[in-house]
Structure 1
Amino acid sequence: MSGPESASLATASSPPSPADRGARRALAVVIAIVFIDLLGFGVVIPILPFYVRSFGVSDVFIGFLAASYSIMQFLFAPILGRISDQRGRRPVIMISLVGSVLAWTVFGLAGEIELLFGTVLAVATLFSSRMLAGAMGGNIATAQAYIADITPPERRAGALGLIGASFSLGFIFGPAIGGLMASDPVVAAAQNVFPAFIPATRFSLPSFTAAGLSLVSLLFAFVFLREPARKRAPVGASTTSLVTQFRDALNDDNLRGLVVSFFVVSVAFSGVQVMFIPFAADIYGYGETETALFLTYIGLLGTLNQGVVVGQLARRYSEAKLAVVGAFGLMLSLALLPFSPDIGQFLPAVGGPVWFTQELLALLLVGALLSFGNGMLNVSLSTLVSTSASAETQGNAFGVTQGAGSLGRTIGPPTMAALYVLTYWSPFVVGAILIAPIVLTLVTIARRPRVVPE
């Protein structure tokens, strides 16, 4: 790690210097960019299944559409990370935001494409735009590398935790905005205002809103984002393929366990995320409103955990120890989640409204453990990646590990959906079983002498 910004942050007790204030300002800027971009992503979430169904195709396409995003993110995250190491963080973030603006705009025009050219081309438009959005979604790895550039190792967990908090906030407020933009009054108002050539439907408005938020993020980056001072990898120094990058990472003693951890945790957690809503409907009898409220509760806890709690704990404990605790908490919560109604019967009776039952209390407690474990694990893994890579390869390291996570998010949802059809508790229990060896892997990493790369 080099550069005046990083050095200034290392001295916590001295008065803030201009370089120190500049580093903090840069951190605030990149976090704001990530949040606005993720807010746009969250806006589209509520309309995705209904948008696909509007074309009269099978629900299978919903899963394929989600997979198309993740597989492109898997392919492009390492590429964008390597380019950011060589060419700079700012250009990669800017280009990816331009791509996001284009992707969400085209996504909102798929309905018009169907009217003009038919369903096949309209569905192809949906997939093309989602694939472009997925490719540009690899900019998260670049944002993480940017943060690693401007923060010293001892403060990196707290800073990277803010990325996780941005995710949580984006998924709290984004869907609410998307639901509002798809509501009948807003659609009717837009139809009265928009010119005839701009479609104003319950599907196009959220899509255009996401494009607008990405545009705001792009303008914000153009005006305020500065390239961090750091040691760059030489241009053309690495021309290895994606397969070679992953092979090299798996051959690296420092990165091997982390890459595998990102992949396995993503398989388990993304699959469980997808299957929680059917579980809540089938076992608890919850509808969309009740499920959305619970997800908001989890999102709020995630923001608190990743934005505050992890940073405080990281001052007292190593990131490897925190990763072990997070992985164990996530494993335990996944194992308990499908049995939360039974666990509720052993809890003391609760007062208050009729709907606040012992079963609900058990679900809230297990959900809190899940949020804590997932937040602790994600931030700690990201910090371990940063401290396991040299200064000039931060972007490449984050790109590979985030790519592994994207591959996991491609495999997890369809696999866990198939398990849920067999029996409702199986995806949760299988997810816990998958994470068990990751706990052991992280214990091994925690016991290993710490070596800081040059």
Structure 2
Amino acid sequence: MSTNKNSNKILWTIFLTILIDMLGVGILIPVFPMLVVPHSTFRVIPDSWTTAEGFIMLGWLLTCFPLAQFLCAPILGQLADRYGRRKILALSISGTCISYILFAIGIVSKNIPLMFISRALDGASGGNISVAQAVIGDISTPQNRAKNFGLIGMSFGIGFIMGPFLGGKLSDPAVVSWFNSSTPFWFAAILSFINVLLVLALLPETLKVASDKQIDLSKPFHNINKAFSTPGLRNIIPTTFLFNAGFTFFTTFWAVVLADEFGFSQGKIGNFYAYIGIMIVFAQGMIVRRLSGRVADFQILRISLFITGICVGVYYFIPFSHIGLIYLIPPFMALGNALTMAFSTALITRVTPANIRGEAMGISSSSSALAQAIPAMLAGYVAAHHAKLPILVGSLIILCGGLLFWLIFQPKQFDEMN
């Protein structure tokens, strides 16, 4: 009984940790497009720059985080396997806290290089999600694994309800006269500091068998090879790579489309993403948890990937004259996204031995980070031709990921694994 209580304590601590972390991420969403779109009071790029040049700069700015995460997350995963989840989790969140402070200063001073440094620091210390996933993997059984990862997904959703909404309000001088474009980032820094205290105060160490391997600084590059060659992972990672790549094309520039082409303010962007968050919470809390243990993870993924890809594609074809249609898609897109995130992560942990689960999550994070870095970099150039074009590209890539999963994942190979 005490073991169950301890597991529940750990689970809910991680839930709150990721919730606070995702609040910080969600707060940024309404502000980012306003940094470059024309006629925005938040614009930080020089007046002589064109809209296309602003889009390209934004793409590179968004690339900094996943690129640094690609280089550093596997190293944090190794450190977590060797020195424990708790210490590394607190360390990585501390880096996130500092990065938000630097970004706030960069916005106020319109110091674009400092903004780039801030996002790179956040990415370098951004192994908190993969370490948190390793904690969940440590305490999960085969029967409740997807359910527990669904709880993580639900914390993502709640963060995306409250985060964008707060970001829109905290950056609006009409709400409080001294609010401005930097206020959400100061608030995110405070949240991250609270997150560090929460981990240190409430989270026990869950690592049972410490790794004695030397820390390999070249791990990020080896991980890409391992991701596509290791039995088990090679049957899943190529699909999650395409899913993350396609969804990054969408997430990188959909808020920009809302601001630039649909005329959304930062407040309306925040409200829209809050609505998506509500749909994600519903999908994670009501559907993922009900399906966990009842339907095989691979069977879910064979459908959910196509749901997500189709929903993203529909957004590309919505005309500006029918703005109301954008509110009809989130329930379906949230369902596909929630199912894919929860069951793909659960599937990775199921085919991974317990003593290298942290490393496996590091490999997965490397793949995910690279899958986000490349599209974020390219999306700016694609959007320079047409702001909506990254949406169509993202849809096609996700659909290719769904097709690939049907072709390469053979469930019989893993039926005997826990």
TM over 0.5: yes
Which of 396, 402, 406 is 1:433 aligned to? 396
8 Å contact kept, 1:271–1:417? no
- Show the 5 A alignment for 1:208-247: 208-236=186-214, 241-247=219-225
Query: CA 1:328–1:182 in 2, change beyond 3 Å: closer, same or farther?
Result: closer
**Mean Cα deviation higher: 362-371 or 384-393:** 362-371
- Show the 5 A alignment for 1:114-263: 114=109, 122-184=111-173, 188=177, 202-236=180-214, 241-263=219-241
- Show the 5 A alignment for 1:250-399: 250-277=228-255, 279=257, 285=262, 287-288=264-265, 290-340=268-318, 360=324, 363-399=326-362
8 Å contact kept, 2:245–2:375? yes
Q: For the residues of structure 2 that align with 1:123 and 1:240, how far apart are their CA atoms?
A: 30
Matched, 1:448 2:412: yes
8 Å contact kept, 1:266–1:412? no
Q: Which amino acid is the alignment partner of residue 438 of structure 1?
A: G
Query: CA 1:252–1:46 in 2, change beyond 3 Å: closer, same or farther?
Result: same
Which of 359, 362, 370 is 1:407 aligned to? 370
* 1:414 shift after superposition: 4.5
SS of aligned partner of 1:252: coil
Q: For the residues of structure 2 that align with 1:225 and 1:263, how far apart are their CA atoms?
A: 31
* 1:250 shift after superposition: 1.7
* 1:22 shift after superposition: 0.7
Query: CA 1:413–1:225 in 2, change beyond 3 Å: closer, same or farther?
Result: same
Matched, 1:21 2:11: no
* 1:377 shift after superposition: 0.9
Counterpart in 2 of 1:109? 105
Which of 95, 99, 103 is 2:95 aligned to? 99
TM-score (normalizing by structure 2): 0.87
Q: For the residues of structure 2 that align with 1:177 and 1:293, how far apart are their CA atoms?
A: 9
8 Å contact kept, 2:10–2:204? yes
Q: For the residues of structure 2 that align with 1:267 and 1:274, how far apart are their CA atoms?
A: 10
Q: Which has the larger radius of gyration?
A: 1
* 1:380 shift after superposition: 1.2
Q: For the residues of structure 1 that align with 2:66 and 2:215, how far apart are their CA atoms?
A: 28
Q: For the residues of structure 2 that align with 1:100 and 1:170, how far apart are their CA atoms?
A: 16
Would you say how many aligned residue pairs link Structure 1 and Structure 2?
404
* 1:299 shift after superposition: 1.5
8 Å contact kept, 1:81–1:399? yes
8 Å contact kept, 1:341–1:363? no
Matched, 1:47 2:31: yes
Q: For the residues of structure 1 that align with 2:302 and 2:255, how far apart are their CA atoms?
A: 28
* 1:226 shift after superposition: 0.5
Q: For the residues of structure 2 that align with 1:32 and 1:425, how far apart are their CA atoms?
A: 35
* 1:398 shift after superposition: 1.2
TM-score (normalizing by structure 1): 0.80
Counterpart in 2 of 1:345? none
Counterpart in 1 of 2:22? 38
* 1:216 shift after superposition: 0.6
SS of aligned partner of 1:184: coil
State the percentage of identical aligned residues: 26
SS of aligned partner of 1:46: coil
Query: CA 1:80–1:415 in 2, change beyond 3 Å: closer, same or farther?
Result: same
Counterpart in 2 of 1:194? none
Query: CA 1:150–1:86 in 2, change beyond 3 Å: closer, same or farther?
Result: same
8 Å contact kept, 1:268–1:435? yes
Q: For the residues of structure 1 that align with 2:163 and 2:350, how far apart are their CA atoms?
A: 32
Q: Which amino acid is the alignment partner of residue 287 of structure 1?
A: F
